[in-house]
A and B are shown apart, each in its own frame.
Chain A
């Protein structure tokens, strides 16, 4: 494999430029895609990936530049137009109808309009596609019954069924568990072998790029800063090119002597929104200076656990003790006063309020504190000063404390949330998916701050779907599967394989 000049060029973009007002989102971007290659487009959030992608599949028109498809100059007027010419797109959010079967979703919107739907014939065609590329999908299952990985495969088949020869994938790995990622990329590699061109756009997960992709084009601030074969690249060169400076990929594990237990959880049972037990009898304790990582595929009870600890979800049975005090039924603010800090999974809408200023967003963690609310009146001067301090200490890129939260990128927003939670400071921190969706630079920053907090003696519960992150940061790792721990292992004995098997429920240690 690889980009020897002999392979046929199927898609070429020359000098693509796109401006939004004064912002140049794409600045003379050149891109060459060959048949049969898996060609990653890499870049941090805001590097211009989305704009380029939208131009390639016809959702946006470039201000300058040309696109050539099989040597022919083309103008895509719409995504439908692009698809007709063989360019398919799989979005980051699923665009399927949950109540319909996989097959019905695949057939939906097919450009060859026929008055009578021939599902038999469609099934034959879809089945043939699956066999050809090695997908295993229950075509007659309803979409809501499928896993995230399977839904994505359905979208890929849908695009292929409609005749796509070039497939663009937006962050294909972002919602998948590690085994699903491997499965998906193997399928994509198979597809590439069949003379299709596959273009995944990726923000993080550099190892994936190195292992499976043939070539990579790296964008930074709207420009192509590098184009190379992955066999010439290392994780370090990719990361540095993306970020524009040297990046520490290896975090230095800090060993601090463990102190008193800060939080003790005994036989915790919590129901989810449907009334089912999502957390089934979990027990653990976390000491000062310890990071306790919970590894698991999304939806195995991590979210209800975090919410129950934070006071947002009632506890059915069991107890939570924080610094020797029973907080099982304490209201949210009582827990915060006791030293609990919570970084929620959803950065927008739970962790922040898009339309309010950063000052107001910082106040979410402070509005009840006497120094910031005297006689029921907000101490606006102090709130501003606090916000400015957080923006500075956490090197947040923002127009200022009055900027609305929606104007911040995901990474900068997470820094604000982290800053306002850590500045209280808590004794016990719950960090849910703290680097999810962040680019390399911001993720590194957040992880470093968590380690700093640990060094200062904070007890941290780290919930993450990124196994690499869990392994790199945690002192002890618990694998969660269907609301129960399948094993708790110390960092020394933990390997990717062991924890991977535990979180997939394939194996169970005595807890």
Chain B
């Protein structure tokens, strides 16, 4: 695109090579612009924006209570982001994190239930046996639940966005059935939430953080390597870039789409497993399980902002994990209107996505110079042939 203003030309062109620091600069700018814009909302609400931001940061990234919470929420978002990234590398959209994460959670709690974990928080169980079984059951359940959408997409071209959305609703009703009044996983206090996991089979912690938080970071590295260096990763990327070229190369649509949705489902499953069996103070399927379904969609935004890069998703997940917790805390502490924390998050997400899109373009301003035309030294009608060899 080009616009001429006076003797200057402004050109907006798509960047030929987008470097990693373009993305970083764009994200930082997006954060600053959002904080500036939302500042007006806080002023309107009668709060000093600077104080608000200080509170959020102090709580989410400094305080000894808020920081682990930030990391735990970030882990959940990060794993949900992987659930988007893997299928998206194959050109397919996984919107089914809620369904997949509860498939894993129900399976894990099912294993615990089978071992009699519902009886008491102090139930004597062997964690070294039960926890791995819970992980395996969770991965199988969420992998299978994800695979449904992938298989239907690959074999019958059923739109995966629609399928995963519908599977979310199905799973959320199953969760309701399991934990609400009379459900098998209902807690003993019968308050519409699941039973509390016995201490023996909670995810072990290192430095106050569940092992799953460390696993998520490790998985970011493994996933990056998997996509870049393995044969399956290559086939996924190839299929994502061009299904027809993949077909030419003997890479089968059904296999790839089933595979990516199985993997994606497993990552979403790990997110659920992490939060409901590993985060201190939770250790159950909570009453507000629907909010975690929504929260898993933060992973979707995170994956998009990170441009499908698992490692780049880490800082984005930490940002959203921190701001979502910190803003809620700040809203309560400063007694601001309900929902203002969501305003901050919403603007932040929109700005980051928008700035990522803008980062793909470069803006150049040039002075318009009109040079005199060269003399034409050719008589009309004359033939002229340069030697083809110089």
Contact = CB atoms under 8 A, between A and B. Distances in A.
B130 interface: no
Given A66-B373, A356-B238, A376-B230, A367 B385 contact: no
B378 interface: yes
19 contacts: A14-B374, A30-B378, A63-B371, A228-B385, A229-B383, A312-B247, A344-B248, A349-B245, A350-B248, A356-B238, A360-B234, A360-B237, A367-B251, A368-B231, A377-B230, A377-B231, A378-B229, A378-B234, A380-B229
A367 B383 CA distance: 54
Interface in A230-285: 232, 237, 240-241, 243-246
Contact of B374 (A15, A229, A342, A378): A15
Contacts of A28: 374
Contacts, number: 113
B388 A225 contact: yes
A367 B245 contact: no
B389 interface: yes
Given A15-B374, A240-B388, A376 B381 contact: no
A30 B379 CA distance: 12
B235 to A, nearest CB: 7
Contacts of A311: 250
Contact of A332 (B229, B250, B374, B376): B250
A363 to B, nearest CB: 6
Interface in B218-247: 229-232, 234-235, 237-238, 241-242, 244-245, 247
Nearest to B233: A378
B248 A364 contact: yes
Nearest to A4: B381
B386 interface: yes
A14 B229 CA distance: 53
Interface of A: 3-5, 9, 14-15, 28, 30, 32, 63-66, 225-229, 232, 237, 240-241, 243-246, 310-312, 331-333, 336, 342, 344, 346, 349-356, 360, 363-365, 367-368, 373, 376-378, 380
Interface of B: 229-232, 234-235, 237-238, 241-242, 244-245, 247-251, 370-371, 373-374, 376, 378, 380-381, 383-386, 388-390
Given A367-B235, A376-B232, A349 B242 contact: yes
Contacts of B374: 14-15, 28, 64-65
B389 A245 contact: yes
A367 B381 contact: no
A431 to B, nearest CB: 14
A353 B245 contact: yes
B250 A368 contact: yes
B388 A245 contact: yes
When A and B form their complex, which 5 residue pairs have the shortest distance between CB atoms, in order from nearest?
Answer: A332-B250, A5-B381, A333-B250, A15-B374, A364-B249
A376 to B, nearest CB: 5
A307 to B, nearest CB: 10
**Among the interface residues B229, B242, B244, B380, which one has the most CB atoms of the partner chain A within 10 A?**
B242
A360 B385 contact: no
Given A65-B373, A355-B241, A367 B229 contact: no
